[in-house]
Amino acid sequence: MPTESKLLSFLTDMKYLLKGKVLIANVLPVFTAYWLALHFSGARFMDHLGLFLLTMAGSTLVISGALMLNNWYESDLDTKMERTRNRPTVTGAFPLRAVLWAGSITTVIGLSIMMFTTYEAAAYSFLGWFFYVVLYTFWSKRKYTLNTIIGSISGAFTPLIGWAVITPADHIVPVALFYLLFIWQIPHTLAIAIKRLEDYTRAGVPMLPVVSGIGVTIRQIIVYVIVLLPLPFILIGPLGWIFFTFALALTLGWTILVAMGPKTKDKKVWAQMNVRYSILYLVLILLAMIILTAF
């Protein structure tokens, strides 16, 4: 029993260190774009199984390394925020020096693995890491509300990684996926910032609702969700009318939800609804792309 308890505690700490949901949300677009690149290039999955394993291992390690370095650098902020107090960098379960080394080594191994795929995919992997670790974590998060935009650029590189492993990412589909991931992350993150306003205020992080207020933030969320509306139209050609109808319905549903924001009394409940819907939106959009090209 003590051994099982220690193992469970270790796995729980690893989940917090790697921000489990965030890791999955970044790896899923890599796989989706890889799958779509196979489909549109006429390649067979089993003919590229080794390449697939390299891609998923390398990209996951690069993303994991970035997340660990983020936790290492932000440990002082995490002590002030209720939602991050269970991270092992705060509780002391993992020494900060060990996390720094783990994040650095994991990043190097991941990028090295990606070099065995294509140089373009490796370049996108590095750019995603660089935007998240250097430009977002080290430079902008503590200084500018622009940090949300920079963090969103980082996450938008993930589909380019998966696509570029198979064929150059100069196709409308990976460009549309970059657009989707970039725009999607902004209202998703701003909704989290409203929900966790006290946390960010206490930690002194200049998120938009902290600096400009909830009203301005809600208006920004509405604008960015509306900007997602062209996506289904862009992808009619490659993915067809079934995807178009499904994606448009999901986007209109989110548009209606965000439009309720200014008149909703409990803004935090509204923000939580948007966080949940945004996650569902992204997962369903990506799964629809995979399923519709599987047959």
Mean pLDDT by groups of 10 residues along the chain of 295 residues? 74 89 95 98 95 98 98 95 91 95 98 98 98 98 96 97 97 98 98 97 96 97 98 96 98 98 95 97 98 92
161/165 Cα distance (integer angstroms): 7
- Residue 50 is part of a domain; what is its CATH number? 1.10.600
Q: Within its chain, how far is the Cα of 19 from the centroid? A: 11
- Position 51 scores a pLDDT of 97
Q: Is residue 7 part of a domain?
A: no
Half-sphere exposure of 189 (CA within 13 A, CB side): 23
Inter-axis angle of helices 49-73 and 20-41, to 10 degrees?
150
In this structure, which amino acid lies at residue 19?
Answer: K
Q: Is residue 232 part of a domain?
A: yes
Q: Is residue 94 part of a domain?
A: yes
Q: Is residue 97 part of a domain?
A: yes
Q: Is residue 6 part of a domain?
A: no
Domain with 279, as residue range(s), is: 13-292
Q: Is residue 95 part of a domain?
A: yes
**pTM across the whole model:** 0.95
In this structure, which amino acid lies at residue 70?
Answer: N
Q: Is residue 205 part of a domain?
A: yes
- Position 4 scores a pLDDT of 61
- Position 291 scores a pLDDT of 97
Report the 3 state secondary structure along the chain.
Answer: CHHHHHHHHHHHHHHHHCCHHHHHHHHHHHHHHHHHHHHHHCCCHHHHHHHHHHHHHHHHHHHHHHHHHHHHHCHHHHCCCHHHCCCHHHHCCCCHHHHHHHHHHHHHHHHHHHCCCCHHHHHHHHHHHHHHHHHHHHHHCCCCCCHHHHHHHHHHCHHHHHHHCCCCCCCHHHHHHHHHHHHHHHHHHHHHHHHCHHHHHHHCCCCHHHHHCHHHHHHHHHHHHHHCCHHHHHCHHHHHHHHHHHHHHHHHHHHHHHHCHHHCCCHHHHHHHHHHHHHHHHHHHHHHHHHHCCC
- Position 2 scores a pLDDT of 62
Q: Is residue 53 part of a domain?
A: yes
Domain total of the chain? 1
